[in-house]
A and B are shown apart, each in its own frame.
Chain A
Amino acid sequence: MIKTSGLAKTFKGGVEAVRSIDLTVRAGEIVGFLGPNGAGKTTTMRMLTTLLRPTAGTAVIAGHDLVTDPQGVRRRIGYVSQGGGVGPSAPVGEEIELHARLYGMGAAEARERVAGTLERLGLTALAARPGGALSGGQRRRFDLAFGLVHRPSLLFLDEPTTGLDPQSRANLWGHIRRLRDEDGLTVFLSTHYLDEADTLADRLVVIDHGTVVAEGTPAELKGGAGTLDDAFLAITGRSLREDGEAAEPGAPPGGPHGDPGPPDGQADDVPAAGGALARSAGQAAAAGKRGAR
């Protein structure tokens, strides 16, 4: 479903956000994409979803060449970005109908598809509301609906549960798992929550300094290390907990580990406000680790 070779992105000004990514994702897999802040996760995601042109390497996504046939890729994939894509003022139902129609559906087909998707995600009653009137968890489910309404064969999720309360996270995980089990959807999700990676993903790919440094099932990666956090520490030389603490407001956007992120001023992986969230996740992981001992 995804096959990349030497995929790389160097931004103008020479910032090497992604050095070389070799990835294979098979149909029907849920693959977790893990890495510290500034490792190149979001840049990789944005390349795989046609939003950024790679500066080197090749990739075939859902049967279409990423560089020569981005339109073909767009037709087959769904993408839920880290910040989501629900506008503040229009009724979400209207937005999602437009979204569906841009995939070539007629009015009746789009309405039917939207109704089905919303029902499945438990959103039907909320469709008339503007995005600004929704809770974080509701908005995230609508983001998922945008990504699914055209029935893609491959779904990209960039940090899907960042900022959600535990209940909303569990709810979203349930939906993602069901989509794979019932529809055979392939899911590629980036996260820096180790519990999310551990419970949701069939396989994990760990990226650091713009290249893949480890991959395998959660059990394989844990190996003798005990917990995924220990394994992560062993692989990247830092724990996600430290990473979260480093991402305090005021710290450089890409974290203190070298990669300053794209030069357009956007943080690569975590917006400044995400620091506290990352830390709380880290603390949760740390608490879990203490409890296990």
Chain B
Amino acid sequence: MNAVRDTWLVTRHNVRIVLRQKAGIVFGVLQPMLYLALFGPLFATIGTWETLVPGLLAQVGLFSAGLSGVGIVFDARSGVLERLRVTPARRTALLLGRVLGSSLTVLIQSVILIAAGYAFGLRAPLPGVLAGLALMTLLGVGLAALSNAIALVMDPDAFAPIVSTAVIPLVLLSGAFLPMSMAPAWLDAISRLTPFRHVVEAIRDLFAGHYATWTVATGVAVTAVLAVACVAVGTRIFSRENA
């Protein structure tokens, strides 16, 4: 069987399922909007919308991707996953198709968030915005693959609280809310060790129209390595028997 074809088929199927869940999309969009409306004006007194919006994008992406494994638990419980595992479809296709389908929700939320950002005062060049979105999507797909695989081997009741707790420090240390340049030296030092800071700073550079910078290069490299590693580990766990 052709793995690319299978991935596409499973993706399309999941996109249909995702698009039917309108409440999920609406509330997923609503949350960053609240940040934009109620935190944005406050932030704008010390920073720019070009700094804030990438941070909100990262926040939405990291939480959605981190928790995307919740859905696969339902597939496992309803027997859908096992049924698909007996078909000749590649395991990677079953996992990636699911992940790509759910990543579409995040992409829709991100686009709406950026559009609303323009209404508030965001002035970012289109190529930079598209590049930033691409970077965030790639990272999201990687993390979601990992999340899906971990959800299958973890106690389902513990999964959501543990993952959402784990994502909070990563989002805070990425400087998504306030840039880490404002942080005390020790916090700044810790933050440099976390991957998402580099991604957020790269997206901020892209939104500012600075494309050929070390920050962008570092962010792209970190994203690529992280995405590939997460998909590899995720596929490995997912392909294990009993997973």
Q: A51-B86, A74-B86, A77-B86 are in contact. Are A86 and B16 (CB under 8 A)?
A: no
With both chains docked as a complex, state the minimum distance between the C-beta of A76 and any C-beta of chain B, in angstroms: 10
User: Which residues from B are CB-within-8-Å of A104?
Assistant: 1, 88
Are B87 and A86 in contact, CB atoms less than 8 angstroms apart?
no
| Residues of B in contact with A (beta carbons under 8 Å apart) | 1, 6, 9-10, 13, 16-17, 20-21, 74-75, 78-80, 82-89, 241-242
With both chains docked as a complex, state the minimum distance between the C-beta of A132 and any C-beta of chain B, in angstroms: 9
In the complex, what distance in Å separates the CA atom of A99 from the CA atom of B10? 9
User: Which residues from A are CB-within-8-Å of B9?
Assistant: 98, 101-102
Q: A52-B242, A87-B75, A131-B78 are in contact. Are A99 and B84 (CB under 8 A)?
A: yes
User: Which residues from B are CB-within-8-Å of A84?
Assistant: 78-79
Q: A197-217 CB contact bits vs B (8 Å, 1 = yes)?
A: 000000000000000000000
Interface of A is mostly: loop
Write 26 A-B pairs (CB below 8 A) sorted by A numbering. Answer: A49-B86, A51-B82, A52-B242, A53-B241, A71-B1, A74-B86, A77-B86, A78-B86, A79-B86, A81-B82, A83-B78, A85-B78, A86-B79, A89-B17, A90-B16, A90-B17, A94-B13, A95-B80, A98-B10, A102-B6, A102-B10, A102-B84, A104-B1, A104-B88, A131-B78, A262-B242
| Residues of A in contact with B (beta carbons under 8 Å apart) | 49-53, 71, 74-75, 77-79, 81, 83-90, 94-95, 98-99, 101-104, 131, 146, 262, 264
With both chains docked as a complex, state the minimum distance between the C-beta of B121 and any C-beta of chain A, in angstroms: 39
**A146: nearest chain-B partner, CB-CB:** B83
Using A52-B242, A88-B74 as known contacts, list a sample of 15 further A-B pairs with CB atoms less than 8 Å apart, ordered by residue number in A.
A51-B82, A74-B87, A77-B86, A81-B82, A83-B78, A84-B78, A85-B78, A85-B80, A89-B21, A94-B13, A98-B9, A99-B84, A101-B9, A102-B6, A264-B242
Are B86 and A88 in contact, CB atoms less than 8 angstroms apart?
no
Are A103 and B86 in contact, CB atoms less than 8 angstroms apart?
no
Are A88 and B88 in contact, CB atoms less than 8 angstroms apart?
no
In the complex, what distance in Å separates the CA atom of A99 from the CA atom of B97? 13
With both chains docked as a complex, state the minimum distance between the C-beta of B58 and any C-beta of chain A, in angstroms: 29
Q: A51-B241, A85-B80, A87-B80 are in contact. Are A103 and B13 (CB under 8 A)?
A: no
User: Which residues from A are CB-within-8-Å of B89?
Assistant: 102
With both chains docked as a complex, state the minimum distance between the C-beta of B19 and any C-beta of chain A, in angstroms: 11
